Amino acid sequence: MATPHKRFERAVGCRHLSASCGYIGARGYFRFAMPLVLLLCAFPFASAELGPIAARHGAGGAVIQMEPRLLSNEPYVAVKDLRELFNDENSPVRLRYFYRSSTRRLSVQLRMPSGQSRIVRLKMGSAEAAIGTRGSVSMRRPAVEIAGEPWTPIQFLTEAIPKAAPVLVEYDAGARELVVRAADSTPEAEPPMEPSDPTPIIESTLPETPPYALMELEAPVWTGLKVAVDAGHGGSDVGLERSGAVEKDLTLALAKEIKTAAALAGGAVFLTRADDAARALEERMQAAEEGGATAFISLHFNDSISSGRSGYRIVTLPPDRSSTEGENADRRASPPEDAEKLADAVEEALKEAGFEGKRLRLPLPALERANRPALYIEMAYLSNAEEAGYWLLSQTIESAAAAIWNGAARYKP
Ligand SMILES: [Zn+2]
CA–centroid distance, 366 to ligand 1, in Å, is 11
Distances (CA, A) of 215 to 34, 372, 407: 45, 27, 11
pLDDT value at position 341? 97
Q: What are phi and psi of 374, to 5 degrees?
A: -135, 140
Tell me, in angstroms, the distance from the centre of ligand 1 to residue 298's CA: 9
pLDDT category at 358 given cuts 50, 70, 90 is very high
Which of the two residues, 161 and 62, has the higher pLDDT score?
161
What is the mean predicted confidence (pLDDT) over 372-384? Answer: 96
Highest mean pLDDT pick, 165-169, 223-227, 262-266: 223-227
Domain 210-410 has CATH 3.40.630.40: yes
Which of the listed ranges 46-50, 146-150, 352-356 does the model predict with the highest average pLDDT? 352-356
Average pLDDT value for residue range 264-282: 95
List strand residue ranges (DSSP E) for 61-148, in order. 63-66, 69-71, 74-78, 94-100, 105-111, 117-123, 128-130, 136-138, 144-146
CATH of 53-182, one of 3.30.450.20, 3.30.457.10, 3.30.413.10, 2.60.120.370: 3.30.457.10
Distance 336 CA to ligand 1 centre (A): 23
Please give the pLDDT value at position 311.
Answer: 97
The pLDDT assigned to 206 comes to 38
Q: Ligand 1 centre from 379 Cα, in Å?
A: 10
Residues of the chain with CATH 3.40.630.40: 210-410
Mean pLDDT of 366-373: 94
* 248 CA distance to ligand 1 middle (Å): 8
Please report the pLDDT score of residue 352 as a whole number: 97
pLDDT tens for 83-120 read 999 988 888 898 988 888 888 889 898 888 777 778 89
* Phi and psi at residue 57, to the nearest 5°: -100, 120
Q: What pLDDT sits at residue 23?
A: 39
> Distance, CA 378 to ligand 1 centroid (Å)?
7
Burial 83-113 (b: 16+ CB within 10 A, else e): eebbeeeebbbbbbbbbeeeebbbbbbbbbe
Confidence of residue 405 (pLDDT cuts 50, 70, 90): very high
Most confidently modeled of 128-137, 180-189, 328-337, 369-378? 369-378
How close is the Cα of 346 to the center of ligand 1, in Å? 19
Higher-pLDDT residue of 72 and 294 is 294
CA of 331 from ligand 1 middle (Å) equals: 27
Judge whether residue 183 has pLDDT over 90: no
* Distance from the alpha carbon of residue 386 to the mean position of ligand 1, in angstroms: 19
Q: How remote is the CA of residue 154 from the centroid of ligand 1, in Å?
A: 46
**CA 233–ligand 1 middle distance (angstroms):** 6
Distance CA 34, CA 30 (A): 5
CA of 394 to the centre of ligand 1 (A): 20
d(CA 212, CA 355): 7
Question: Span 144-148, mean pLDDT?
Answer: 92
Q: What is the pLDDT of residue 193?
A: 43
Residue ranges of the chain that CATH labels 3.30.457.10: 53-182
How many whole angstroms from 237 Cα to the centroid of ligand 1?
9
CA of residue 289 to ligand 1 center, whole Å = 21
How far, in Å, is the centroid of ligand 1 from the Cα of 303? 9
Q: How far is CA 85 from CA 1, 57, 68, 181, 361, in A?
A: 29, 8, 13, 12, 45
Question: Given pLDDT bands bounded at 50, 70 and 90, which one contains residue 231?
Answer: very high
More reliable by pLDDT, 206 or 348: 348
d(CA 164, CA 65): 24
> How many whole angstroms from 232 Cα to the centroid of ligand 1?
5
Q: Cα dihedral sign for 317, 321, 327, 332?
A: positive
CA 239 / ligand 1 centre spacing (Å): 5
Please state, in angstroms and rounded to a whole number, the distance separating the CA atoms of residues 397 and 410: 20
Tell me, in angstroms, the distance from the centre of ligand 1 to residue 190's CA. Answer: 35
CA of 388 to the centre of ligand 1 (A): 14
Ligand 1 centroid vs 280 CA: distance in angstroms?
13
Give residue 212's pLDDT.
93
